[in-house]
Amino acid sequence: MLPAPFEYHAPNTMDEALGLLDELGEDAKVLAGGQSLIPLLKLRFASPAHLVDINKIKDLDFLEERDGMLRVGPLFRHKSAERSSLLASRYQVMADAAPQIADPIIRNRGTIAGSVAHADPSGDWGTVLLALDADLVLRSRSATRTVKAREFFSGPFSTALQPTEILSEIRIPAARPQTGGAYLKLERKVGDFATVAVAVHLQMEDGKVGSAGIGLTAVGPQNIKAGQAEAALRGASLDDTTIKEAAALAAEAAEPTADQRGSVEYKRNVVRVFTERGLKRAYERARGGG
């Protein structure tokens, strides 16, 4: 399979890349890891006239905690997330998700930012960022704006990104003590997209839930933030009743459709079970265990 013809640009700086996007508008697509875009080009589901490859731009492959934020650069790849000791110790929902994305060879190239920009409702990173209450920095030649993850996704494969913008940084509130997370994913086989997955991020304060983030994958037209479940947890102590209530609310927030991976009832039930398990695991971790 061969993509339709296009012109290829490999700028060396962000300014150059933004200039190209500004000039080319709708006719251009950003190329990051290429692990979603190149398959789409080959199937001719997309046939942009121009590709702007950002891989030659220096300093876009970063992960760092600075000024109260965890910052993720546009070329930070799944593989690096999988191997990061910082994520393993402080951002477990990310550390859990990384090795469950696609397969090891795809993870060598694919990026977190590319996944989020791609906005596949079955993609995992968007859900993780919803649970973490992340901010996305969108940069164009003339302006930089910050959009909340929960306002970023607007439907299957559609987001707040303009054709002239690059997702230039993902910002996550820095983990404080007593933070724990978990990502649970049901897949038919290793390397498959999720049948259902649930992201949980918990911040405990004096034995109570300070804040809770819950995201759902593959059970709706986009990654879903289970806001009512999050609200029910805030300020509560995490006993079995609270956990069950929150899990039921998360299951209600899911809008699954039936397909070869499972029925509506089945998927909704997996959301419930995974939310329960995810909350328990995140709580354990927030208290310094597992």
Partner 1 sequence: MSVSQPITVTVNGDRKTAEVEPRLLLVHFLRETLRLTGTHIGCDTTHCGACTVLVEGVPVKSCTMLAVQADGQQVTTVEALAAGGTLHPIQAAFKQEHGLQCGFCTPGMMLTSIALLQEKPDPTDEDIRWALSGNICRCTGYMNIVKAVRSAAAQMKAAAAVPAATAAARS
Ligand X SMILES: Cc1cc2nc3c(=O)[nH]c(=O)nc-3n(C[C@H](O)[C@H](O)[C@H](O)COP(=O)(O)OP(=O)(O)OC[C@H]3O[C@@H](n4cnc5c(N)ncnc54)[C@H](O)[C@@H]3O)c2cc1C
Q: Alpha-carbon distance 136 to 110, whole Å?
A: 18
Q: Alpha-carbon distance 116 to 72, whole Å?
A: 12
Subset of residues 219 to 258 that bind ligand X, contact rule: CB under 6 A: none
Subset of residues 34 to 73 that bind partner 1, contact rule: CB under 8 A: 34-35, 38-39, 41-43, 49, 51, 53, 55
Subset of residues 14 to 53 that bind ligand X, contact rule: CB under 6 A: 29-37, 39
- Give whichever of 26 and 103 is closer to partner 1, judged by the CB atom: 103
Contact status: 179 vs ligand X (CB under 6 A): no
- Give whichever of 190 and 258 is closer to partner 1, judged by the CB atom: 190
SS3 of residue 240 by DSSP: helix
Query: Does residue 9 contact residue 20 with C-beta atoms inside 8 Å?
Result: yes
Contact status: 106 vs partner 1 (CB under 8 A): yes
With tokens 């699954």, the residue in question is: 256
Q: Map residues 180-219 to x or -, x wherever contact with ligand X holds by CB under 6 A.
A: -----------x-x--------------------------
**Measured torsion, CA atoms of residues 33, 36, 37, 38, in degrees rounded to the nearest 10:** 80
Question: HEC profile for 127-155?
Answer: HHHHHCCCEEEEECCCCEEEEEHHHHEEE
Contact status: 155 vs ligand X (CB under 6 A): no
Q: Give the CA distances from residue 29 to residues 8, 50, 241, 243, in Å, rounded to whole numbers and listed in that order.
A: 10, 6, 48, 43
**CA gyration radius, the chain:** 19
Q: Map residues 87-126 to x or -, x wherever contact with ligand X holds by CB under 6 A.
A: --------------xx---x---xx-xxx-xx----xxx-
Interface residues toward partner 1, by CB under 8 A = 1-8, 10, 34-35, 38-39, 41-43, 49, 51, 53, 55, 102-106, 108-109, 190-191
Interface residues toward ligand X, by CB under 6 A = 29-37, 39, 74, 101-102, 106, 110-111, 113-115, 117-118, 123-125, 161, 166-167, 191, 193
